[in-house]
């Protein structure tokens, strides 16, 4: 008999894993996600993407302000799940909650634990220039991401892949690993091994200032930063006193003849900017303060940038 499980997850890439579970195993008996919150300039209430997925598939949703609430724990207990599955939920789970399912909780973590414990493992792997990452399925404890490892799988990080794109890939991979682990649980054949505590590293939540570009850094490091801070806080610089966000970049092979931050070329579809190691960064998608995100070609056509401009 297949394991019944409740799914704890909030952001959009959780839906990729849920789609895999639905197709290859079964749907969760409930989705637990963060409460609706005001977002955007209008501060309108916005639902978690996983809540929308649940409604599309007629699955109950619970949105506790805190998992420590007795009322939530009572409601969760009444569901009588065999297992809790956590993927980017956003809250630490108390021991009293972890004890409710007969099989406890497992966590889908998008890194090769013990590397990158914490809130932003996908982003920091890219920012730090890692060539590979992966997904770990671990047992959940009251401490952050330190549970025994049930299953792991590696994957290569593509040189131009953003955190959004990698997150979607890892979510699908996580869904596939979950199907494998749930199948093992069905058969009672799950084995877990402790993490190597001495190799643990941390991936704290990003801050707005983490997206600021320092043009004195090497081109490759700036490119990694741009990829890693998508969609938030975004890579930030300024042009003629106005905030400028960089959404996509690539590395150019041309010789650099300008100072870091100076625009060497702004013609056709190429905007090339000097960096600290003498390399050039190609700006491919940009967004000037108060404007929409557009291609470099459209940015040039609108005469918003020219050779000799300096990005601060």
3-class SS string, 1-30: CCCCEEEECCCCCHHHHHHHHHHHCCCCCE
The sign of the dihedral angle between the CA atoms of 144, 146, 152, 155 is positive
Question: In this structure, are 43 and 94 located in the same domain?
Answer: yes
- 176 and 53 share a domain? yes
In a domain, 306, yes or no: no
What is the reported pLDDT for 42?
A: 65
Compute the distance between CA of residue 296 and CA of residue 301 in angstroms, rounded to an integer.
8
Q: How far apart are CA 72 and CA 77, in angstroms?
A: 8
48 and 113 in one domain?
yes
On whether both 71 and 121 belong to a single domain, the answer is yes
- Which tokens hold the place of 54? 């649940």
Task: Return the residue matching tokens 């093992």.
Answer: 184
What DSSP line would sit under 92-149, residue for residue? PPPHHHHTSSTT-EEEEESS-TTTTBSS-HHHHHHHTT-SEEEEEEEE--SSTT-SPE
Question: Between 310 and 45, whose confidence is greater?
Answer: 310
Tens of pLDDT along 104-153?
A: 999 999 999 999 999 999 999 999 999 999 999 999 999 999 999 999 99
Q: How far apart are CA 237 and CA 214, in angstroms?
A: 8
pLDDT by residue (tens digit) across 222-250?
Answer: 999 999 999 999 999 999 999 999 999 99
Q: pLDDT at residue 45 above 80? A: no
Specify the pTM: 0.95
31 belongs to a structural domain = yes
Q: For the beta carbon of residue 218, count every other beta carbon within 10 angstroms.
A: 17
Q: For the domain that residue 140 is a member of, what is the CATH number?
A: 3.40.50.170
CA distance 67 to 100: 12
Tally of structural domains, the chain: 2
Q: Are residues 212 and 137 in the same domain?
A: no
What are the beta bridge partners of residue 132?
156
Give which of 290, 293, 157, 172 is closest to 231, Cα–Cα: 293
Is residue 142 a part of any domain in this protein? yes
Among the three residues 172, 199, 226, which one is the final residue of a domain in this structure?
A: 199
Q: Which of 199, 220, 235 is the last residue of a domain?
A: 199
Domain that includes residue 68, residue range: 5-199
What are 156-205's pLDDT values in tens digits? 999 999 999 999 999 999 999 999 999 999 998 899 999 999 999 999 99
Provide the CATH number for the domain around residue 259.
3.10.25.10
Helix (H) or strand (E) holding 54: helix 49-56
């Amino acid at each position: 008999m297949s394991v019944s499980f409740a799914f704890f997850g909030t952001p959009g890439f959780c839906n990729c894993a849920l789609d895999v579970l639905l197709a290859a195993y079964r749907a969760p008996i409930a989705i637990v996600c963060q409460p609706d919150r005001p977002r955007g300039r209008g501060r309108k209430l916005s639902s978690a993407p996983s809540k929308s997925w649940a409604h599309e598939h007629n699955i109950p949703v619970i949105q506790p302000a805190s998992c420590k609430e007795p009322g939530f724990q009572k409601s969760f207990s009444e569901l009588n799940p065999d297992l809790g599955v956590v993927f980017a939920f956003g809250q630490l789970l108390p021991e009293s909650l972890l004890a409710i399912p007969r099989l406890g909780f497992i966590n889908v973590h998008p890194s090769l634990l013990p590397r990158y414990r914490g809130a932003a493992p996908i982003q920091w792997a890219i920012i730090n220039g890692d060539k590979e990452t992966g997904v770990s399925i671990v047992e959940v404890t009251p401490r952050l991401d330190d549970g025994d490892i049930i299953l792991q799988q590696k994957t290569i990080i593509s040189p131009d892949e953003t955190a959004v794109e990698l997150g979607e890939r890892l979510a699908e991979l996580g869904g596939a690993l979950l199907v494998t682990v749930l199948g093992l649980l069905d058969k009672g054949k799950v084995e877990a091994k402790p993490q190597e505590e001495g190799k643990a590293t941390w991936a704290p939540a990003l801050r707005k200032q983490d997206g600021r570009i320092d043009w004195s850094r090497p081109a490759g490091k700036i490119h990694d930063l741009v990829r890693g801070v998508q969609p938030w806080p975004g890579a930030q610089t300024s042009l003629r006193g106005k905030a400028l966000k960089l959404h996509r970049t690539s590395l150019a092979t041309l010789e650099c003849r300008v100072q870091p931050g100076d625009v060497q070329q702004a013609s056709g579809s190429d905007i090339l900017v000097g960096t600290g190691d003498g390399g050039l960064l190609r700006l491919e998608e940009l967004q000037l303060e108060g404007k929409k995100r557009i291609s470099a070609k459209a940015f040039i056509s609108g005469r918003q940038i020219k050779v000799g401009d300096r990005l601060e």
